[in-house]
Amino acid sequence: MYQPGHVLDGKYEVLEPLATGGMGTVYLVRHRHLEELRVVKVLRQDVAADPAAHKRFLREARLATQVKHANVAILYDYSQLPEGAFYMVWEHVKGREVGECLRAEGPFALATALDLGIQGLRGLGAIHATGVIHRDVSPDNLMITEDRRGRPLLKIIDLGLAKTLQPEPDFEITQTGTFMGKLRYCSPEQAEPGRGEALDNRSDLYSFGLVLYEMICGRSPFPDGDGPVFIFQRLKEDPLPLTGRNSAIEVPREVSRVVLKALARKREERYSDAVRFIEELERVARSLDEAATRRVPVPEGAVPPRTASGGRPSTKELSPEERRRLLERIDRAAERARETTESASRVDLALDAGRLDDAVRLLAELEEAAPLARNLPALKRKLAKALASHDRTARVGEIEKMLNRYLKARQLRLAELAYDSLLEVAPAHPRKSDFNDWIELLRGELVQDERLERELASGREALGRADFKAAHKRLEAARKVDGEAEAVLAFAREVEGAEAAHKKSAGLDQTRQRFDRLLERGQLDQAQAELAGMGALGATRVSLDLLRGRLADARRRQAEDLRAQGFERRFRQRIEAGEFQAAREVALELEAALPDHPRPAAMFGETARTEEEHRKRQAVAQGERQVETLIEQGRADQAALALKILLQLDPKNRNRRSFQRRLRSLGG
């Protein structure tokens, strides 16, 4: 970790560390030349040695450069420090995270929440427009600052988990057994990756809908919003309406409807894109005019009026008719009491037998018939307890299934979360120890798998550069981790195959070189044998066809050369005899016999050169005789002129000095 005052890459002065994670550290820095605050994310050096981690870090930078929007933080720079660590430089957003505001001050005013929500969706839409999904939308990745006019401005930060929608078979950010993103704000398809749905932009819209829900009412959309079970409720339950979710907050039903559409469990029922979500929010914002979230005063509980105290009963005597009616009323009351007792017994029996649906129905009938029955409250409590126990049992079973599914899919983080949820619902679960052991086993396997993957990735890189020694070293390291793993066995086969292919390729190259040399020397039968050897070494059909063509051309040229030998002898005889026209006629005969043979053209050229040289020699000989004659006759001036002409024809004439000396003796 760099200390305050340290200068990165000669221009970024560290002011303070902001956060540290598994990938590296984030610092607040000052650009020494521009005098601007910025944020630098430095990839840890030990992590940078991992090709996958480095690729993910570089990928974040590349994805970020594609997004240019006022509601998304700007990436300024990406480079490598002299000591080897990679870093990227982000815009410093001066403000507060949405999560920090919620924790400190509670929900936002409705108008503010809708305005910030629209801004965030615009930034999210810009990210999606580049073919990227964020995958980690949460209150901690949304910053609230101010624009130039002092109005609230929301910016999306941290694209560390962003992923392009284009398929990338050679790279996947989500490592085996690891769930990326904050679980509290993940979409149903993120919380249940085993259902085989590829993530798209509607996953981000769901996560943003969760954030907006909390911004408006300060609570989560599910009853168990503060416990692990909350993560799984989104898979089976619909979110609670915003209206009435917080008794101290009044939220219009239309606002609730718009936000809940983004939180649909089935993504086909959500908004198709950020633009549709924005349009709905803008519409309800306009309809509310300047309406804001209002605190609803909780009214004082009305004290129920006191019942009038009954006075002493009248002491007057009852008439026979009054006595009869009174007895009838007593009989009817006794009958109703008997029926109520029987109904209560039926409810009790249904509860004891576990027939909860019958118990609910019978209790409803009893309450309708005798709302003031004395045993009604007790039966209601017993039914509520039975229903709670039934719900708990059902929830335990559901979480068990989910936990088993996550363990089978090797999704460690989700398995841990499901295990915590199970213990929250059933602390003394009979298989608690078994599940814990399986999770620990999976954790160990994933650590081993990660180490194994690093060794195999390094080994494949070595294979790519044909460094078989390094590849074998990585293979042995992988075998020490798990020698029986299919990936290790497959890599061993890769190494063996690559070495065999390399040897075959080397042998093929050597055979090809011998073939070329034999062709040059005209040893065509030996070249034919080498060609057969190349076929055995696995040369491609195209290469073999090409070489066969070259060999066939060589044989044809050899046959033509043999046929041309008779013409060659006759040509040589004519040249040596100085019969240049006859030599040309031989060349013409060869050209007619072998139109594609290169020798006739060479013969014509040789004849022209030889004839010219012959004529030059004749002219020189004639000039020498003329100079000799003129010197002998004592005609010095004419001899000097003749010598000058001779030397123009033959500047290095062998008799030059002799002629010049004899001319001087003549005084010429």
In a domain, 410, yes or no: yes
Cβ atoms within 10 A of the Cβ of 231, count?
Answer: 24
Q: Among the ranges 56-60, 378-382, 494-498, 536-540, which has the highest mean pLDDT value?
A: 494-498
| Mean of pLDDT values over 273-290 | 88
Q: Which residues have C-beta within 8 Å of that of residue 301, sequence separation ≥ 6?
A: none
| Mean of pLDDT values over 613-642 | 92
Tokens of 524: 């065509």
> Shortest CA distance to 500 belongs to which of 542, 460, 463?
463
- Residue pair 628/656 in contact by the 8 Å Cβ criterion: no
In angstroms, the CA 152 to CA 111 distance is 12
> How sure is the predictor about 259, in pLDDT bands with cuts at 50, 70 and 90?
very high
Distance set, CA 319 to CA 311, 316, 326, 491 (Å): 22, 10, 10, 108
Cβ atoms within 10 A of the Cβ of 472, count?
Answer: 15
- Residue pair 154/139 in contact by the 8 Å Cβ criterion: no
| Mean of pLDDT values over 23-41 | 90
Same domain, 396 and 451: no
In a domain, 193, yes or no: yes
Tokens of 428: 């003394």
Distance set, CA 106 to CA 152, 156, 224, 431, 557 (Å): 17, 21, 19, 40, 94
Using DSSP's 3-state secondary structure scheme, residue 372 falls into coil
Task: Out of 15-24, 80-89, 147-156, 611-620, pick the least confident.
Answer: 15-24
In a domain, 319, yes or no: no
- Residue pair 247/130 in contact by the 8 Å Cβ criterion: no
In angstroms, the CA 102 to CA 214 distance is 8
Q: What is the pLDDT of residue 364?
A: 86
pLDDT digits (tens, 9 = 90+) for 44-66: 776 666 676 667 777 767 777 77
For residues 60 and 348, the model is more confident at: 348
Same domain, 228 and 355: no
In angstroms, the CA 656 to CA 624 distance is 9
Q: What is the CA 33 to chain-centroid distance, rounded? A: 35
pLDDT digits (tens, 9 = 90+) for 327-343: 777 767 667 767 777 78
Same domain, 465 and 486: yes
> Shortest CA distance to 580 belongs to which of 605, 554, 546?
605
> How sure is the predictor about 99, in pLDDT bands with cuts at 50, 70 and 90?
very high
Is the confidence at residue 194, as pLDDT, over 80? no
Cβ atoms within 10 A of the Cβ of 668, count?
Answer: 18
Q: Which domain holds residue 63?
A: 7-91
| Mean of pLDDT values over 71-81 | 88
In a domain, 308, yes or no: no
- CA angle 429/435/439 to nearest 5° reads 145
Q: What is the pLDDT of residue 334?
A: 66
In a domain, 394, yes or no: yes
Burial of 665 (0-12, 13-18, 19+ CB in 10 A): exposed
Q: What is the pLDDT of residue 223?
A: 80
Distance set, CA 255 to CA 261, 266, 267 (Å): 10, 20, 20
Same domain, 277 and 389: no
In a domain, 600, yes or no: no
Is the confidence at residue 456, as pLDDT, over 80? yes
- Bridge partner residues of 19 (DSSP): 26
In a domain, 511, yes or no: yes
Q: In this structure, is the dihedral angle defined by the CA atoms of residues 620, 626, 627 and 628, taken in order, positive or negative?
A: positive
Same domain, 343 and 454: no
Helix ranges (H only) for 522-577 are: 524-536, 541-576
| Mean of pLDDT values over 28-36 | 92
Same domain, 643 and 543: no
- Residue pair 403/422 in contact by the 8 Å Cβ criterion: yes
CATH number at residue 84: 3.30.200.20
Task: Out of 22-26, 149-153, 425-429, 499-503, pick the least confident.
Answer: 22-26
Last residue of a domain, one of 499, 516, 536: 499
Q: How many helices (H) and strands (E) does the chain have?
A: 22, 13
Mean pLDDT of the chain: 84
Tokens of 387: 């229903």
Is the confidence at residue 538, as pLDDT, over 80? no
Phi, psi of 522 (to 5 degrees): 80, 15
| Mean of pLDDT values over 550-573 | 90
- Residue pair 662/630 in contact by the 8 Å Cβ criterion: no
Cβ atoms within 10 A of the Cβ of 82, count?
Answer: 8
Phi, psi of 244 (to 5 degrees): 85, -5
pLDDT digits (tens, 9 = 90+) for 458-486: 999 998 888 989 999 999 999 998 888 89
> Shortest CA distance to 402 belongs to which of 220, 269, 234, 266?
234
Q: What is the pLDDT of residue 292?
A: 44
Q: End-to-end alpha-carbon separation of the chain, Å? A: 101
> How sure is the predictor about 195, in pLDDT bands with cuts at 50, 70 and 90?
low
Tokens of 305: 């009026």
pLDDT digits (tens, 9 = 90+) for 229-243: 677 778 888 899 999
> Shortest CA distance to 156 belongs to which of 90, 86, 78?
90
Same domain, 270 and 127: yes
> Shortest CA distance to 93 belongs to which of 167, 45, 158?
158
Task: Out of 531-540, 551-560, 579-588, pick the least confident.
Answer: 531-540
Number of separate domains in the chain: 6
Per-residue DSSP letter, 72:
B
Same domain, 72 and 126: no
Last residue of a domain, one of 295, 314, 340: 295
Phi, psi of 14 (to 5 degrees): -70, 125
| Mean of pLDDT values over 10-36 | 88
Is the confidence at residue 164, as pLDDT, over 80? no
Q: What is the pLDDT of residue 182?
A: 64
| Mean of pLDDT values over 283-298 | 62
Tokens of 618: 């004749």
Residue type, 110: L
Is the confidence at residue 312, as pLDDT, over 50? no
Same domain, 408 and 467: no
| Mean of pLDDT values over 494-520 | 88
Last residue of a domain, one of 439, 474, 499: 499
Length of the chain, please? 668
Using DSSP's 3-state secondary structure scheme, residue 344 falls into helix
Is the confidence at residue 40, as pLDDT, over 60? yes
Q: What is the pLDDT of residue 170?
A: 41
Same domain, 128 and 239: yes
pLDDT digits (tens, 9 = 90+) for 358-405: 888 888 888 877 777 777 888 888 888 888 788 778 878 888 888 898
> How sure is the predictor about 295, in pLDDT bands with cuts at 50, 70 and 90?
very low
> How sure is the predictor about 228, in pLDDT bands with cuts at 50, 70 and 90?
low
- Residue pair 406/194 in contact by the 8 Å Cβ criterion: yes
- What single string gives the DSSP state of each residue in 190-251? HH-GGG-PPP-HHHHHHHHHHHHHHHHHSS-SSTTTTSTHHHHHHHHSPPPPSTTTSTTEE-
Same domain, 33 and 179: no
> Shortest CA distance to 260 belongs to which of 218, 226, 222, 294?
222
Is the confidence at residue 583, as pLDDT, over 70? yes
**How do beta strands 294-295 and 249-250 pair?**
antiparallel
> How sure is the predictor about 109, in pLDDT bands with cuts at 50, 70 and 90?
very high
Same domain, 54 and 195: no
- CA angle 95/98/100 to nearest 5° reads 80
Q: What percent of the chain has pLDDT over 90?
A: 39
In a domain, 314, yes or no: no
- Residue pair 258/284 in contact by the 8 Å Cβ criterion: yes
pLDDT digits (tens, 9 = 90+) for 399-449: 888 889 889 888 888 888 888 888 888 888 999 899 999 999 999 889 888
Is the confidence at residue 177, as pLDDT, over 50? no
> How sure is the predictor about 508, in pLDDT bands with cuts at 50, 70 and 90?
confident
Is the confidence at residue 524, as pLDDT, over 50? yes
Q: What percent of the chain has pLDDT over 70?
A: 87
In angstroms, the CA 239 to CA 153 distance is 28
Task: Map tokens 């040509």 to a residue.
Answer: 571
Q: In this structure, is the dihedral angle defined by the CA atoms of residues 318, 320, 324 and 325, taken in order, positive or negative?
A: negative
